Structure 1
Amino acid sequence: MRIAKRILLAASLFAVPVGFTQNKLFEEGLKITFKNDSVHYIRASILSQFWTRYNHNNPGSLLNGTEQEHVADFGIRRLRFSVQGQVTKSTFFYTQAGLNNLNSISARKSGLFIHDVTVDQQLYKNIIVIGGGLHGYNGTSRFSSSGVASILGMDLPVVMESTNDVTDQFGRKYGVYLKGEVSKLNYRMSISKPFPVQNSLNFIVPLSPTAINQAAFSTRAPQMNYAGYFFWQFMEKETTKTPYMSGSYLGKKRIINLGAGAQYQKNAMWYRSAGLDTVSVPLFQLGVDIFVDYALNPDKKNAVTAYAAYMNYQFGPDYIRNAGVFNVANGVGPNSTFNGAGNAFPLIGTGHVFYSQFAYKFKDQLLGKQGTLQPYFIHSHAKYQALASPVQVFNIGLNWLIAGQNSKLSLDYQSRPVFNQTATGILADPSLRRGQVVLQYQLSI
C-alpha cells in the first residue's frame, strides 16, 4: 500500500494540471504552483549549449604533443539544471547545477557541480532583501553576473568576469548579500569569502625571485571580498530575482539603465619589489556602464540592443592573465607566442577596458514559423599595463531566434590579436591575428 501511494505521489508531480502549451513550457519551464495562486511556486529549468567550431590556432599550439595550426571540434559549452521557488511570500530560493567546457580533450566522465545555492528573505517589501549561500552577486559591471540563457552574443563577455575560477567557482563565492529596489534604483552588495587560489584548476605558482614588479594572486589565506553594483532604471524595470542580468529581451521591453559598480579585496595580490621584498596589494575594480534594450514597435517586437562599459582593473603592477575560452589545444611548442596555446590571448590585467555591443532584432516571424534574426557586433578594447599594445577583440555574429532564447542558433566569428615578447615590450603583431568561427545551438526550457 505504501509503495502504491509513493508511485501515485511521484506520478502526480508530472501530471500537475498546469495546462502547458509549448510556449508556456519554454517560458516558464516545469512550474508547480501551490495554494491555487501564482505567488507560491517551484520551477525547474534546463539549458544546454552545444558548439561546432573551427579555430585558427595561435602559432606553436600543440594538441597532445602534435603541432596543429587549425582545429575543428565539437563540444558542450554549458549544461545547466536549475530549480527556484517562492516558498513563502517573503522567502525565495535558487539552486543551479551543471557542467562547462566538455570536448574530446576534456577529462572523461566529468561530473556535475553546484553553481548556485541561495536563499533570500524580504525584510521590507522588495526594498530590503537579505540572502546568502554560494552566489553570483558580483560587482564592477552588469555582465559580471551574466544570464547565460539570454546572452546577446554567442558567449559571455568573459572580460568582465575578472576573477573567474581563480578566487571563485565560475563567478560564484560563498557569502551574504543585500539587495533591493528603491524607486528606480536597483542595488546589490555582497560580502564573500574567496576561494584559495591553490584550489583553482589552473593553480598559480608562488612568486619567482626573477619576476620583479609583476603581480600575481597571493597564496596566503584570502581576506573578505566586498562587491556592489547599482543601476538606475530610466524606463521599464527589470526583474532581478536571481543575480543574473539579461543580455536582450528581444523586443519585449523598453529599458535604459545607467549602472556603476566596484569590487575590493585586501591583500589579494602580491609581487616582488626590486629589493626582493614581498609586497601585498589589494584587488580593486571600478566600472560604469549603460544598457539599452528598446522595442521600436511593441507589436512587431523589432528592437535595438546596445551596451557600453568602462572598467578600471587594479590587480597590482603588470598583472596579466591569458585565457582561452573552451580551449582547443593543451600545449605549446618552441615556436609559440606570448598568447599561449589554442585560442588564448591576454584577457585580464591591470589597466583599462572599454567594452561595447550592438544588435538589431528584426520583427517576430520574419521567417514565418522559423522565427526571426538578430545580427550583432561586439568590440573589446583593453589597455593593460603589462602590454605595449592594446588588446583589440572583435566579434560579429547572427542569432537565428527559432523560438526566442529557448531555441536559438548562433553563428559567431571572433578576431583576436597575437602578442610577442620583443626588446621594446610585449607587442601585438598585426600580421598574426587569428580567428575562430563557432556555430552554437541553445535549448532553454
Structure 2
Amino acid sequence: MKKVMFLFVLSLSYFGFSQGSPDYGGGLKVNINEDGSKYFRIISWAQVQAQYNDDVPSTDSKLNFNLRRARVLMYAQINKDFLILTHFGLNSLNANNLSPTGKGESSQLFFHDVWAQYSVGKNHAVGGGLHYWNGISRLNNQSTLNIMTLDNQRQSWATLGLSDQFARHIGFYAKGTIDKFQYRISINEAMTNNLQATAVPVNGGAATYTGRRLLGSRDAGKNFAGYFEYAFKDSESNFLPYKVGTYLGSKKVFNVGAGFFVHPSGSVVADASGNLSGQDVKILAADVFYDAPVGSNGGALTAYALYQNNDYGKDFTLGTTYETGSLLHGHLGYVIPSQKTTKFQPYLSYDARKIDALNDNANQLGIGTNLYFSGHNSKLTLEYQSLKYATNKAVNTVTLQAMIYL
C-alpha cells in the first residue's frame, strides 16, 4: 500500500444534550430558577491526533501530532421563548502553524456558531446569526460526535468555505415540526473572501465561485437553503441543528428527506472577450435514514443513502472536494448483538461521484468498525479508506480513532 495513515484521536467532552448515546444523561446544566425553565449549559471538547504516514520526504518525520479540534459551546434558555447559542474554538493546530507567543492566525479562536432564537408557538422558531441550520441533506447538518463512520462524507458539506465559514452562514432561519414532518429554511449572506478569494475565470473556461466578489452583493450576495424530512417511525429532536449519525438501536427511526441550496449568480464565467456573467449555484439532494434495534440482545442496524446533484457552474472543480456533477453515497452498519455493555459495530461506506469537467468519476470505499464501551461516550473506531479520483492513483489510509466525552 502506497500510503498508510495511522490516526489516533482523543476527544474529551462535556455535553449538555444527548446525541444518540443510550447511557448519557443531562450533562453539565446550571438552573437559574427553581423549576429549571431558565438555565444554561456549557459544553467543551478537544480532539488530539497522532498521525503516522510513510509516504513523506526522507527529511520529514513520519509521526506528527495535531490538535484537531478545541471547542467551547454554551447555550442558554433565557425563558420559554428565547434561546441563545455561542460556539467557538480552533481547528488543526500543529507544529507548522504554531506561533512563538500564541498570536499567530492558526492559534486564534474563532466563532463557529453565534445565533439567537425566538419560539413561535410550541413547535416552531425563528432565529438569526452565524448558524448551522443548513439545507441540502442530513449529512450537511451532521453532528461530528456521533457519526457512524470515522468522519462525515466531505462532499456533503457542500458549501464549506465557498459561501460560508466552516459550514455556517450568517443569516436568518426558520425551523419547526408539524406532527411527523420537520423543516428548516434559511436566507443567508454569501462569503466574499472564500476558498477562491484570488481566482478569476479564464476566458471561455470553467466557472469560479466568485460571484459576490466579482459581480457585487446586489446580484450575488444572498443564498437560500432548506431541508425537509418526514419521520415514519420515532420522531427526532429538532431542538438543535446537529443530526445524529447512529442511535445504536436506542430509537427506531425511518426518515425520508430532501433539501436544496441556491445561490443566484454565485459562480462567474468569462466569455471569449472576457465579459463576466453569473451562473446560479444549485445543489439538490434526497436521502433516506434508517436506524432500529434488531432482536433482543442489543443488536441494531443503521443505514443511510444520499443522492446529491451539484451545479457550481460550468465545469467547476476545486481540488478533489468540489465539482459540478453528482454524488451517490451510502453507508451501512450493524451492532453485533451482545448482553455486554461493550458493543461492536462493523460498517461499510461507499461514494460514487460523477465529475462533469473531467468526464470521469471519483470513488471512495470505507470499511471499518466501532467498538463502543459506553455508547458514543466512549468508543474506538478503526477504518480503512481508499479514494480513487479520476485518473489519479488511489490514496489508501488506515485510521484508528479513540473518543470519549462526559
Question: For residue 176 of structure 2, what is the aligned residue in structure 1?
Answer: 180
Decide whether the 8 Å contact of 1:49 with 1:440 is kept in 2.
no
Aligned to 1:328: none
**TM-score, normalization: structure 2?**
0.85
Q: Which runs of 5+ in 1 are unaligned?
A: 1-22, 58-62, 323-345, 419-426
Partner of 1:309: 306
| C-alpha distance after superposition, 1:292-349 (max 9, x if no partner) | 111224x643211111000111111110111xxxxxxxxxxxxxxxxxxxxxxx2221
Q: Paired residue for 1:119?
A: 116
- State the Cα RMSD in Å: 2.4
In structure 1, which of residues 186, 191, 195 is the aligned counterpart of residue 191 of structure 2?
195
Q: Structure 1 residue 149: deviation in Å?
A: 1.2
Change (3 A) 1:390 1:164: same
Match of 2:363? 392
Distance 1:34 1:69 in 2: 53
Using the TM superposition, give the Cα deviation of residue 185 of structure 1 relative to its aligned residue in structure 2, in angstroms.
0.6
TM-score norm. by structure 1 comes to 0.78
Structure 2: state its 5+ residue gaps: 1-20
| Aligned positions, number | 374
The structure-2 alpha-carbon separation of the partners of 1:24 and 1:353, relative to structure 1 and needing over 3 Å to count, comes to closer
Separation (CA, whole Å) in 2 of partners of 1:24 and 1:401:
11
Verify: 1:92 aligned to 2:83, yes or no.
Answer: yes
Q: What is the deviation of 1:71?
A: 4.4
User: Is residue 261 of structure 2 the alignment partner of residue 268 of structure 1?
Assistant: no
Take 2:275 and 2:372, find their aligned partners in 1: how far apart are those partners?
Answer: 56
> Hey, what's the Cα distance between the residues in 2 that align with 1:68 and 1:348?
32
CA distance in 2, matches of 1:216, 1:67: 37
Give 1:215 shift.
0.8
1:55 and 1:415 map into 2 onto residues whose CA distance is 15
Provide the C-alpha distance between the structure 1 equivalents of 2:168 and 2:267, rounded to a whole number of angstroms.
19
**Maintained 8 Å contact 2:23/2:375:** no
Residue equivalent to 1:237:
235
1:159 to 125, 139, 155: 155
Greater per-residue helix proportion:
1
Q: Shift of the alpha carbon at 1:406?
A: 1.5
Match of 2:16 in 1: none
What is the deviation of 1:38?
A: 4.4
> 1:382 is matched by which residue type in structure 2?
R
Is 1:428 aligned to residue 395 of structure 2? no
Deviations 1:204-254 (A, max 9, x none): 423254x63301111233411100000000010000211111101121100
Amino acid at match of 1:180: G
Aligned partners of 2:253, 2:144: CA distance in 1, in Å? 19
Provide the residue aligned with 2:130 in structure 1. Answer: 134
The letter for the 2-side match of 1:417 is K
User: 1:405 is paired with a residue of what secondary structure?
Assistant: coil
Matches within 5 A, 1:363-402: 363=337, 366=340, 371-402=342-373
CA distance in 2, matches of 1:43, 1:364: 34
Deviation of 1:389 (Å): 2.0
Identity %: 30
1:400 and 1:68 map into 2 onto residues whose CA distance is: 36
For 1:215, give the aligned amino acid. Answer: A
Question: Max radius of gyration: which structure?
Answer: 1
The aligned counterpart of 1:205 is 198
- Which residue of structure 2 aligns with residue 341 of structure 1? none
Q: Report the Cα offset of residue 82 of structure 1.
A: 1.2
- CA separation in 1, counterparts of 2:334 and 2:201? 49
Task: Call closer, same or farther: CA 1:176–1:67 in 2, change over 3 Å.
Answer: farther
- 1:351–1:444: structure 2 CA closer, same or farther, 3 Å change rule? same
